[in-house]
A = this chain, B = another copy of it.
């Protein structure tokens, strides 16, 4: 495409690196942005510069915020004795949207993975172990994804923390609004095993 200006082709290539966008959708997005130069393109570039300048990882929990220690870690309204362990910041945000958990978080930054050579020292696991003592933690809630890597990581952390505090994990079962006919065998088995008296 010799006729696409250098600047625009450059922008398309960068946009195509975002998760969820390929070359075609990046082209569409860039054309949309160019059509709305004043309303969207310039403000979006400014918003990106603002985030690039302000965003940083909390040195305690790994959450993304604008200060050295994030708002959740410094909030006096949040319980200090409970830590919810999540894989990444997107999961922390998902937990926050539910609005139920009132303790603090610990963002691992990934999962253990033999294939990708990710060990405990590549994640924030040593820092978690340190926090258990420092913050007088009574319960660690493992809110890790129900994938093989997520569950491997959960088991590893549970062993590391054994005897130091209570370790729990999210319940597995039928999702709210879920239809049995569309659920996989594993979920139904888990829901049946964890059945409750009505």
A residues near B (Cβ < 8 Å) are 1-5, 7-8, 10-11, 14-15, 17-21, 25, 27-34, 37, 40-52, 54-55, 63-66, 70-72, 88-90, 93, 96-97
Contacts and interface: CB of A to CB of B under 8 A. Distances in A.
A48 B33 contact: yes
B1 A97 contact: yes
Identical copies in the complex: 2
Given A3-B96, A27-B93, A41 B52 contact: yes
Given A33-B51, A65-B5, A21 B19 contact: no
A14 B49 CA distance: 13
A96 B45 CA distance: 29
A191 B27 CA distance: 31
B72 A52 contact: no
Majority secondary structure, A binding face:
helix
B88 A8 contact: no
Given A5-B55, A18-B33, 13 more contacts: A1-B93, A1-B96, A7-B54, A7-B55, A11-B47, A11-B50, A14-B40, A30-B51, A31-B88, A31-B89, A33-B51, A42-B49, A45-B45
A29 B33 contact: no
B7 A32 contact: no
